[in-house]
Amino acid sequence: MALTFYWYPNCGTCKKAKKWLDDNNIDYTSIHIVEETPSEQAILDMMNKSELPAKKFFNTSGKSYREKNIKEKIVNASNEEMARILASDGMLIKRPLTTDGETVTVGFKEEIFNHTWKK
């Protein structure tokens, strides 16, 4: 199954991940994370499949995260509440977000992509 690659074209990390996918001839569909932000349910599904803490889905270094004081809002938030917040603004989501429908990676680390997406 082809990957779904949520990215922001101006993001350096996203560009590195895209280059890795291209260099490794991996089939994917790229989706602009701000123009087509994943739904609350899609984010919740990815959270559950990733086995990562929900807070790892936040772009903590982003301007939106700081300006909206998200750190304070998610201290005691449920996964559902965090998914709702993330779905409200694609810039809050840590990028790139990559999934094949079963497996999910958040961000880009070459060793994780090698292990997860290189078949």
Q: Rounded to whole angstroms, how far apart are CA atoms 4 and 37?
A: 12
Angle between helices 40-50 and 79-87 (to 10 degrees): 130
pLDDT-derived band at 1, boundaries 50, 70, 90: low
Residue 82 burial (CB count, 10 A): 23
Region 61-86: mean pLDDT is 96
Q: What is the structure's pLDDT at 105?
A: 98
Domains and CATH numbers, the chain: 3-117 (3.40.30.10)
Q: What is the pLDDT of residue 8?
A: 97
Beta-sheet strands, E only, within 1-119: 3-7, 28-32, 97-99, 104-106
Q: What is the pLDDT of residue 51?
A: 87
pLDDT in tens, 81-108: 999 999 999 999 999 999 999 999 999 9
Residue 2 has pLDDT above 80, yes or no: yes
115 sits in which H/E element: helix 110-117
Q: What is the pLDDT of residues 12-48, one digit of tens each?
A: 999 999 999 999 999 999 999 999 999 999 999 999 9
The predicted model gives 5-10 an average pLDDT of 97
pTM of the model: 0.94
